[in-house]
Homo-oligomer: A and B are copies of this chain.
C-alpha cells in the first residue's frame, strides 16, 4: 500500500467520512490502492469501474446526451461520475476519473488527457484537468496519485 493511500484512509477515519469511487481509465486501481490499507473497510464503501460508456450512464447516472455530445473524456462527465458514485453507494464523498490511458487516442483526445473530480455531500466539489505523459501504466498510476491528493486537499490534511 502507498503512504498517500494510508493518509487518505487516516483522514477519512478521523473525520468519520465515507468515500466511493467511479473510475474509467484507472479500471479499479484507485479503489484497489485505497483498499490495500488495512482498516479501509470502515470508510471505503466501494466503487464502480465504468469502463464502458453505457455503465457510466446506467449505473452512475451520467447524462446520456452529455456523453453523446462530448464523449466520455469530459470535465462534466467526471463531475457527474463523482456525484453518481456517492449517490449509488451512499457515500459522503465521491471520487472519479475519466481520461485516455492510451496507447490509442479516444474520442479525439490523445493519451494523457485526464479529468479527476471530487464531490462532497457538503455540496463542495472540484474537477481538475491533467495532461500526463508516459506509458499507459504511468498515466494510470499518476491519475490515482492526483485523485488521492485531491481528497487530501479537500479534507484539509
Map CB proximity to B onto A99-131 as digits: 1 under 8 Å, 0 otherwise: 000111000000000000000000000000000
Q: How many residues of A contact B (CB 8 A)?
A: 38
| A contact face: mostly helix, strand, loop, or mixed | mixed
Q: How many copies does the complex hold?
A: 2
Contacting residues of chain A (17-76) with chain B, CB-CB under 8 angstroms: 21, 23, 26-32, 34-36, 38, 40-41, 44-52, 54-55, 58-59
- Residues in chain A within 8 A of chain B (CB atoms): 1, 21, 23, 26-32, 34-36, 38, 40-41, 44-52, 54-55, 58-59, 88-90, 102-104, 136-137, 140
Task: List 13 additional contacts besides A28-B29, A46-B52; criterion CB under 8 Å.
Answer: A27-B28, A28-B30, A28-B31, A28-B35, A32-B32, A38-B103, A44-B51, A44-B52, A45-B55, A46-B59, A48-B49, A58-B88, A59-B59
